[in-house]
Chains A and B, each alone.
Chain A
């Protein structure tokens, strides 16, 4: 899913560490999963 930027001009290139991307997604993904779990648990009462 990585899409590196195309090289333009004479600027130095960079490399985004995969670990940083994974950390960033985990940081937002874990709370979201927590919220989803709790909401699905609450919504399950509708079908209980």
Chain B
């Protein structure tokens, strides 16, 4: 599928002297926008009342978006690698913004299916393409610090929710004077949410287009000053070879890493999904929790901060200690923390908060480190496409994680009467999942030579369609 000339990869090859520090803000401009997907809870109740629908019917909008994220990242990954980051960011912006505009129309005209189509389907495609769009470009610009580079971008996805939540409340307050976010129980009108969608769509259009037009790809044979690729090879799991996306999914390494990501994300979602009620249930005396609703909201905010910070800090740390060891920390220390949470979490608030916050930082770190892990194993040739296919683990975890936690809690009692002990079975299931992920990570070895692409000049940075491997 050809793209217009102004979007073509050839048009954005950087000339010598280009400063690579312009690339991270280009990536952030996209990820900060699509990270809004994690802030949908701020208008969920308003949509329930506007459409007179169930929570499940409204929740489906978000579910469609996340499923489309996984599918579009997997399906369009090769297209993204071939056509470059500008075409990908531009396309992502068109889909993401169209999702908001169609969704806004759906709210104005009271047609829920338009929200499914708009925010869910179209927006979800924008999410998937946007999420992977800057990753391979950043890895190529920062071969000396791939973890730091992808950590910066994927931190933006976590940061997007931090921006969108307060901004959405403020905008809905402007569009509906009766809605006051500071007063518990007030709900914005449907028209205020429609106005919010319209406004966010226009803001995101400007930001994402800015990212698309400043992004560049490095020229052939480009290396950062003072960078010696042979020093990277010194680490055992880091390859200087390249594996195509089609071949990567035939290797055990891909599926082991898929298992690692799936287990890490599922375990993290177990806490994220239930954060506010969980802290209240852990510190309950009779029917009353000793933790106020405002304090529980503060806990959710703290988790968001650790989620975002973990993406940057742990991913950057992986550049120094290696990708496999950092996942041993995420999964191994995660097991210990989950056991502490299940057994000692209800004894003191600080134990509960600290362990949950570190677990969530590992959850974010797992997302941000995985592109660099893929680069280490499969090279840079089609790392974006491989990353896209790996993100199906996220979509799967997004279904399984909530099923585990909600299934266990439904079986143990009713919301508002649950206590710490009711969470234990779910937490120990997460311990088991982390153990599976830990073993999967231990089993990851370098990719066999038969999957390597034939040697040629500078596949990683410029070639859109290099000669194919004979191994299929």
Residues of A within 8 A of B (CB): 1-9, 11-16, 20-21, 24-25, 27-28, 31-32, 34-36, 38-40, 42-48
Please state if B163 and A34 are interface contacts (CB–CB under 8 Å).
Answer: yes
Contacts of B162 in A (CB 8 A): 32, 35-36, 38-39
Contacts of B292 in A (CB 8 A): 45
Residues of B within 8 A of A (CB): 14-22, 25-26, 28-29, 32, 156, 159, 161-167, 207, 210, 214, 218-225, 292, 294-295, 297-302, 304-305, 353
Per the bound structure, the CA–CA distance linking A6 and B207 in Å amounts to: 29
- Which of B16, B17, B159, B223 is in CB contact (< 8 Å) with A35? B159
A-B contacts, CB under 8 A, total: 136
Please state if A5 and B218 are interface contacts (CB–CB under 8 Å).
Answer: yes
- Which of A21, A38, A39 is in CB contact (< 8 Å) with B21? A21
Q: Contacts A11-B15, A21-B25, A28-B156 known; list 17 others, CB within 8 Å.
A: A3-B20, A5-B219, A6-B225, A7-B16, A21-B19, A24-B26, A24-B214, A27-B29, A28-B32, A32-B159, A35-B159, A36-B159, A38-B165, A40-B301, A42-B300, A45-B292, A47-B298
Contacts of B164 in A (CB 8 A): 35
Please state if A14 and B14 are interface contacts (CB–CB under 8 Å).
Answer: yes
Please state if A28 and B25 are interface contacts (CB–CB under 8 Å).
Answer: yes
Contacts of A14 in B (CB 8 A): 14-18
- Which of B19, B28, B218 is in CB contact (< 8 Å) with A28? B28
Contacts of A45 in B (CB 8 A): 292, 294-295, 297-298, 301
14 chain-A/chain-B pairs, Cβ below 8 angstroms: A4-B18, A5-B15, A5-B16, A5-B219, A11-B16, A21-B19, A24-B26, A25-B25, A27-B29, A28-B29, A31-B163, A35-B163, A39-B162, A45-B297
